Structures are given as C-alpha cells and as structure tokens.
C-alpha cells in the first residue's frame, strides 16, 4: 500500500469540472493530465494517484477500498447504493433525473414500460408514486426507446433538455436534482483521516466561494 491517496475519477462529462476544482483547491495537476490516455496517473506533488473509471463504476472501486476517495454523480450513488461515505456536494455537473415521454403519450394498456440506465432508481421512484411499471435496462441513447416503441416513458438525466427536444420528447416529471459528490471508503476515512479531511476541507472552501459568487 503506497502512501499516495488513490482517487477514482469519472471519465467523461464530470471529469473536466472535477479536475478544475482540484486545481482551484491547490492540488498541482499538470496541464497534460486531461490529455493522457493512461488509466492510472500518479502525481507525487499532489500526493495522489488517480484512476480513471467509468462514472458508474467509481463507487464500486471506492467501496472495495482499491480507491480511497472518488468523485461520483448522485445519480450513480442512488443507482448503485454502495457502502461508502458521501461527504461533500461539489455542486458541479448540475443536472436532474426526470421522466420523459412522447408529447402525445399513449399509455400502454397492459403494462406501462419504462426504459432507463437507472433501473433501481426508476423502480423505486414509481413504487413511491404508487405505480407498478415494467423496467427495461438500456446502456445509452435512452431517448430512442419511446420513439421506436420499446417503452412508453424513460427515466434519464437531463441537463439542458436539448436531446429530449430534438427527439420530440417532453419532460413529464422531475425526480430530483443531481450534482457530483466526494465519496470516501469507510476504512480509508479512518486510516487516512488527516489527508482526506484536508482534501474535503480544501474542496469545500472552493465550493463555498463559488456559491457566494452565484
């Protein structure tokens, strides 16, 4: 076990904003950091080792303790329900989870079908609404499902709403707001308390100062 703090970063949408935040918090990440195709990047000056994972997998790495800390969207946290500490809302990558469907929604008479990347979240949401639905798990391009008749409605994250609009879908219900979070492995939270507390402290200062500007 090295003394570096292992941080699981989500590739894609959140990555750039998260890197920016870490830099603002005073962690010296080199400019070429973003361009690397490596999956593991060690940055001794920052005392950190970064692993680049699929966003949906970040909580898995952290739960098993191969990463001490991770950055994960609340959507992923809700879907995965991993046993990790969720310690700080970074307030980046704002979006929300919503139910959407065709403008003139024709409910399936036998069993309403929902297509989604988030089967657990969707199942729980509709249960809470008192509605029994059948869920079909997809891995991407969820908007396709109602267009082609695979499902009546979808549950997905919406940031600008453009994709929905361009495909003739309308938002029906908002489920909840989503932002990215710092998550921490329970063992690391105690064994590496000082380093992790400092990371959280520095990041929360950056987050707070941004809030004030807004």
Partner 1 sequence: MSKPFVFEKPMGMRDTLPVLYQVKQQVRTVMEQEIRDWGYQFIQTPTLEYYDTVGEASAILDQQLFKLLDSEGKTLVLRPDMTAPIARVVSSSMKDVAYPIRLAYDSAVFRSQQREGGRPAEFEQVGVELIGDGTSSADAEVIALMISTLSKAGLQEFKVAVGHIGFLNELFVEVLGNEDRAEELLRFLYEKNYVGYASHVKNLPLSSIDKKRLLDLLHLRGGEDVLRSAEELTAVGGKKAISDLRELLNILELYGVQDKVVLDFTLFSHMSYYTGIVFEGYTNQLGFPLCSGGRYDQLLGEFGRSAQAIGFGIRLDYLLEALSAKEPLAVRTCIIFSAENRKEAIAKSRELREQGHSVVVQDISGIGNVDEYSSRFQDVIYVIGKSEKGEAR
The residues binding partner 1 (CB under 8 A) are: 1, 63-66, 83-89, 181, 185-188, 190-191, 193
Which residue, 65 or 161, has its beta carbon nearer to partner 1?
Answer: 65
Contact present, 135 and 114 (Cβ < 8 Å): yes
Q: Nearest approach, Cβ of 35 to partner 1 (angstroms)?
A: 30
* Complex with partner 1: residue 154 or 182, whichever CB lies closer: 182
Q: Tell the smallest beta-carbon distance from residue 1 to partner 1 (Å).
A: 5
In whole angstroms, the minimum distance from the beta carbon of 22 to partner 1 comes to: 18
Toward partner 1, which CB reaches closer, 173 or 197? 197
In the bound state with partner 1, the residue whose beta carbon lies nearer, of 49 and 153, is: 49
Which distant-in-sequence residues (6+ apart) come within 8 Å of 205 by Cβ?
25
- In the complex, the smallest distance separating the C-beta of residue 172 from partner 1, rounded to whole angstroms, is 25
Q: Smallest gap, in angstroms, from Cβ of residue 154 to partner 1?
A: 25
Provide the token pair at 75: 């959507």
The answer to whether residues 87 and 182 touch, using CB atoms and an 8 Å cutoff, is: yes
Nearer to partner 1, 33 or 118 (CB): 118
User: Could you identify the residue written with the tokens 């959507």?
Assistant: 75
Q: State how far Cα 35 lies from the chain centre.
A: 21
CA angle 10, 16, 17 (to 5 degrees): 95
Distance in angstroms (rounded) separating the CA atoms of residues 162 and 156: 13
């Amino acid at each position: 076990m090295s003394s570096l703090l292992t941080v699981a970063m989500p590739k894609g949408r959140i990555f750039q904003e998260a890197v920016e935040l870490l830099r603002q918090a005073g962690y010296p990440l080199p400019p070429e950091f973003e361009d690397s195709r490596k999956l593991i990047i060690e940055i001794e000056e920052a005392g950190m080792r970064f692993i680049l994972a699929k966003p949906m997998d970040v909580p898995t790495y952290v739960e098993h303790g191969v990463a001490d800390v991770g950055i994960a969207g609340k959507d992923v946290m809700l879907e995965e329900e991993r046993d990790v500490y969720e310690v700080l809302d970074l307030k980046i990558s704002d979006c929300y989870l919503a139910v959407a469907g065709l403008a003139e929604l024709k409910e399936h008479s036998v069993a309403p079908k929902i297509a989604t990347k988030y089967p657990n979240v969707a199942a729980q949401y509709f249960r809470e609404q008192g509605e029994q639905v059948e869920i079909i798990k997809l891995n991407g391009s969820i908007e396709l499902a109602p267009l082609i008749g695979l499902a009546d409605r979808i549950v997905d994250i919406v940031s600008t709403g453009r994709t929905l609009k361009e495909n003739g879908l309308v938002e029906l219900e908002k489920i909840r707001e989503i932002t990215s979070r710092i998550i921490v492995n329970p063992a690391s939270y105690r064994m590496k308390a000082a380093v992790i507390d400092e990371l959280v402290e520095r990041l929360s200062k950056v987050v707070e100062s941004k809030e004030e500007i807004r």
